[in-house]
Amino acid sequence: MSRLPVYLGALLATISIRVGAAEAACGDISIAEMNWGSAAVAAHIDEIILEHGYDCDVTLVPGDTIPTFTSMLTKSQPDMAPEFWINAVRAPLAKAIGESRLLLGAEILQEGAVEGWWVPAFIIEAHPEIQTVDDALARPDLFPSPRSPGKAAIQSCPDDWSCQATTRNLFRAFGAADKGFELLEPATAEALDASIASAFDTKTGWLGYYWAPTAALGKYPMARLSFGVTHNQVEWENCTAVPGCESPQKNSYPTSQAFTLVTQEFTEKAAPAMDYIRTRQWSNATINGILAWQEENRASNRKTAEHFLKTHEDVWSKWVLPVVQERVRTALQ
């Protein structure tokens, strides 16, 4: 006897259960709106999808990595941090997960957060032999310093950024000064971005520290150079990331992981949305483009989230059931 009717019956029952779950009422949800671009926009995307797709009552609250983690751990508030970088709290997070106090959803940054030294893509197009930091340092003529005629330059980070120490140490580890380079440390993030914009406006070489996902990499095509060595975590912790380390060695940046973090209470009152939380992730290229649109249009995080949902349905429609897709589409009309 054919098993097809039995199979179809089971399939329809499964679909019915999932659709029924999507129909179930959600509770009051608080979401951390972190204080950096990609995470802030993600919070507003979650607000829209959870409110209109799952009938949640969502409140956004200000957030930052350590304060948000501490509050979620001790007070179970907020319920959710859409883009939580776990490197800073790996040990206590693992303990909280083991005790079922906190849970990880999807790794929202599909490729992780990427740091390194970058050059404009037009430099690589003109000089395809440049693939590594050493290759770039062998061509100081391609990266003229805007401050010192006859010198080349590597752009670093503002004073209060941790990457200033790593860039200084790597500058010394690669012997950049002996190869004709000076290290420029902009006063602000805006000054760092302005140096990239100027390089593209004048088609002048630029070499320095940057990271993704960011608006600048959505606007300006850049290529990340290889450091020519694998990441050495011990060296990184003992020297590369330590200000003023005496004898830094060549090293490469680690990839930082960012997940959606939720409380146990969230999984209970917003259970229908857990499939979404476990699925939602996007590529750095997608985020870079969205953040570039936000900057160019001077748009709020809310408007940027709406723009993403209207123009990237091919991305977010994979995160939810068709019934949820339709509700979100209707809400955006």
Q: What residue segments make up the domains of the chain, in order of their start?
A: 28-111+257-332, 113-255
What is the Cα 153 distance to its own chain's centre?
27
Angle between helix axes 37-54 and 301-311 (nearest 10 degrees) is 70
Note whether 28-111+257-332 and 113-255 share their fold.
Answer: yes
Tell me if the domain spanning 113-255 has CATH number 3.40.190.100: yes
Contact 225, 132 (CB under 8 A): yes
Q: Which helix (H) or strand (E) holds 149?
A: none
CATH class of 28-111+257-332: alpha beta
Torsion of CA 294, 295, 296, 302, to 10 degrees: 30
> b/e for 98-114, b at 16 or more Cβ within 10 A?
eeebbbbbbbbbeebbb
Distance, in Å, from the CA atom of 28 to the CA atom of 6, rounded to the nearest integer, reads: 39
User: Would you state the pLDDT for residue 161?
Assistant: 82
User: Would you state the pLDDT for residue 113?
Assistant: 86
User: Would you state the pLDDT for residue 255?
Assistant: 87
- Amino acid identity, position 85: W
Contact 52, 44 (CB under 8 A): no
User: Would you state the pLDDT for residue 120?
Assistant: 98
User: Would you state the pLDDT for residue 25?
Assistant: 67
User: Would you state the pLDDT for residue 86?
Assistant: 87
Q: What are phi and psi of 155, to 5 degrees?
A: -85, 135
All residues at 6 or more sequence positions from 152 whose CB lies less than 8 Å from its CB, including other chains: 140, 141, 142, 143, 144, 145, 179, 180, 181, 182, 207
The parts of the chain modelled with pLDDT lower than 70 are 1-25
User: Would you state the pLDDT for residue 10?
Assistant: 43
